[in-house]
Amino acid sequence: MPLDAPAGARADLPAGVNPILVEVTRGPIIESRHRGSAAIVDIAGKVVRSWGDHATAVFPRSAIKPLQAISLVESGAAERFGLGDAEIALACASHGGEKRHTETVTAWLAKAGLAGDDLKCGTHWPMHDETMRAMAAAGQAPCPIHNNCSGKHCGFLATAVHMGEPTKGYIRFEHPVQQRILGVLEAMCGIGLGKAPRGIDGCSIPTIAIPLENMAYGMARFGAPDDLPEARAAACRRISQAVAAEPFMVAGSGRYCSAVMAVTGRSVLLKTGAEGVFCASLPEYGLGVALKCDDGATRASEIMMSAVLRHIGVLTEEMEAKLARRIVTPLENRNGIHVGDVRPTAAFSE
Amino acid sequence: MPLDAPAGARADLPAGVNPILVEVTRGPIIESRHRGSAAIVDIAGKVVRSWGDHATAVFPRSAIKPLQAISLVESGAAERFGLGDAEIALACASHGGEKRHTETVTAWLAKAGLAGDDLKCGTHWPMHDETMRAMAAAGQAPCPIHNNCSGKHCGFLATAVHMGEPTKGYIRFEHPVQQRILGVLEAMCGIGLGKAPRGIDGCSIPTIAIPLENMAYGMARFGAPDDLPEARAAACRRISQAVAAEPFMVAGSGRYCSAVMAVTGRSVLLKTGAEGVFCASLPEYGLGVALKCDDGATRASEIMMSAVLRHIGVLTEEMEAKLARRIVTPLENRNGIHVGDVRPTAAFSE
């Protein structure tokens, strides 16, 4: 995999200082600044454009869920349990815990002979505020099904059941489910990960550090998988198709990933992750994108992703008009007054 | 006001790049980084220690609420309406909308012959999650009394009523209430603000840009006001005493400002603001502190403030033991597993 030397480095910044990619205005001044790095990589592994340091390994967190879902389909588990677009999209999701998300998870668990307490992702209130308050109003408490990662965990469990592996311990690094995914990540991203730094994710599975340039390479190949082995290529295509058909399932009402993919259709597959990581695949261009906001802010990683998509030229004028608030986010205060904006810096115009 | 040249600037950082003051670890790596600037200033206006750029004007947001409360006391309005420690602390608050906060606001409005719809701060659900869900469970909807700034707005309204000014338009820059506060800020912070950059805050009042070094100077004099005119000095002392007596009213359950002041007592007055601003006064040392996280993250500004307090030496060993999670915040995932930390960098040890 040929990976070029960093492009887009700025002479006025010392090594290790990433450029300011997003700024937050209020009235006449810039109130806050977000630094970050990003890489656009093609299916040959060439870094075609980059901002900041994209060679240091970072935890991909939830931004590589589409890659983590590959073995669910490739293993035959998805076919075995009759999973449709909704379930496969949910396997790639950080969902808001809205009714359709949780009902689909519940039905999927039943198809695989499992129940909510088989999920070891932990519990939190739905990220979707209205759903959370409706639950509170109904006297309900959250369970692991409401966890934003419950669809991904269903994918892990379904794969284990299909492969005849114990479901117990499926979140552990040593479990065959996680080892299989490690192998998929190594192959897709073109990097050995056996000794890569390892952390524990919010939902308790391992998260393995990967350089942004390798994540982007993996996403490029995921979107344009013709050179991959047939079973893997078919799995990548099936997942891309499912996400494009069910963008709501990947995030939810009002959320960036769902809103943007609802507009872009099959031309972009997007997935956000905690701590400001974001990945995308652009099948028509044979490109993958990976980026991280230094400070972990999602408000900034989203604007960075929009700026990168615009830089590539994937957004038509009509799409840009529909996604105006995702390109520059107006900040409105408690009285609905427009007080500032979250906007990309000139770094993306250079 | 003598303000020294920036101290603590690092030779390896170009102008305009603030140092990394807080880092977020996960497993063996640093996952996210927060840059920022801070100034410790004495009552003579001398910058005794600083990190990064503290000369550029930034919006103080809610971090100067104690200074904005001065005219409520100085004007005689607090005495006129028989306000106690709870109300005066609430005038300095970004509260969680917990029951005691909102009951106190409601009673205060009645004392001044006002009602909830006189508050023009806008509406949001209580920041305190349990209170918000309890309201949802009871079928209640939020009103301006639940706004975290409602106590500050009660202070504005009470001052207007006491002074015989119209309450209408009290949030506007031109209104006597806001003009009076502008004058207090100029005098306390030692800087002309007539032409300072002006934005609109979350609660719709003006926010006026002030350099961190001037904010810190204002906070130093607020805590050790002997050199101020008698009525102002008395107002500063009254507010400090009220906040020390009622730290819960300034923020709420589980919140940094309340938790730290409950432990430090009268030795520190703290106030956080949106977009990573934080102010403190240390009366016994005759020092004021102002800091801002570049990217606006509260998780980082809190750790920065703890590090500055430790640097000054205001925290005893016993206080540090009680505040361990406020000095280095352990990150626990959805299963309660310790996965990383939010911690100060070595910049504070230099």
Residues 262-321 of chain B whose Cβ lies under 8 A from any Cβ of chain A = 275-276, 293-297, 300
Q: Tell whether A204 lies on the interface with B, counting CB pairs under 8 A.
A: yes
Of B122, B209, B335, the CB nearest to A334: B122
For tokens 């352990």, what's the residue?
B330
Distance between CA atoms of residues A140 and B186, nearest Å: 52
Instruction: Give chain A positions within 8 Å (CB) of B199.
Output: 26-29, 31, 339-340
Q: Tell whether B147 lies on the interface with A, counting CB pairs under 8 A.
A: yes
Instruction: Give chain A positions within 8 Å (CB) of B33.
Output: 294-295
Instruction: Give chain A positions within 8 Å (CB) of B300.
Output: 295
Q: Tell whether A142 lies on the interface with B, counting CB pairs under 8 A.
A: no
Distances in Å between the alpha carbon of A314 and those of A198, A245, A263, A283, A292?
Answer: 34, 19, 12, 11, 20
Q: Which two tokens stand for residue B293?
A: 């996280």
The reported pLDDT for the residue numbered B10 is: 46
ipTM reported for the complex, 2 dp: 0.95
Q: Reduced to 3 states, what is the DSSP secondary structure of residue B39?
A: strand
Nearest chain A residue to B28 by CA distance is A197
Residues A196-226 pLDDT 10s: 999 999 999 999 999 999 999 999 999 999 9
For tokens 């403190």, what's the residue?
B280
Residues A47-103 pLDDT 10s: 999 999 999 999 999 999 999 999 999 999 999 999 999 999 999 999 999 999 999
Q: Tell whether A10 lies on the interface with B, counting CB pairs under 8 A.
A: no
Residues 42-71 of chain B whose Cβ lies under 8 A from any Cβ of chain A = 57-59
What percentage of chain A has pLDDT greater than the value 70? 96
Q: Looking at CA atoms only, how far is residue A337 from chain B in angstroms?
A: 8
| Contact (CB, 8 A) for A68 and A208 | no
Nearest chain A residue to B333 by CA distance is A202
Q: Angle at which helices B129-137 and A129-137 pack, to 10 degrees?
A: 60
pTM listed for this prediction? 0.96
Rounded to a whole number, what is the largest CA-CA distance in chain B? 62
Instruction: Give chain A positions within 8 Å (CB) of B193.
Output: none
Distance between CA atoms of residues B277 and B279, nearest Å: 7
Q: pLDDT band at A350, cuts 50/70/90?
A: confident
Q: Tell whether A203 lies on the interface with B, counting CB pairs under 8 A.
A: yes
CB A199 to CB B31 under 8 A?
yes
Instruction: Give chain A positions within 8 Å (CB) of B201.
Output: 333, 339
Residues B121-149 pLDDT 10s: 999 999 999 999 999 999 999 999 999 99
Q: Reduced to 3 states, what is the DSSP secondary structure of residue B86?
A: helix
Q: What angle do CA A302, A306, A309 make, to 5 degrees?
A: 135
Distance between CA atoms of residues A24 and B275, nearest Å: 9
Q: Looking at CA atoms only, how far is residue B317 from chain A in angstroms?
A: 31
DSSP type of residue A321: H
CB contacts < 8 A, A to B, total 161
Distances in Å between the alpha carbon of A28 and those of A345, B116, B283?
Answer: 15, 32, 34
Residues A120-139 pLDDT 10s: 999 999 999 999 999 999 99
Q: Tell whether A123 lies on the interface with B, counting CB pairs under 8 A.
A: yes
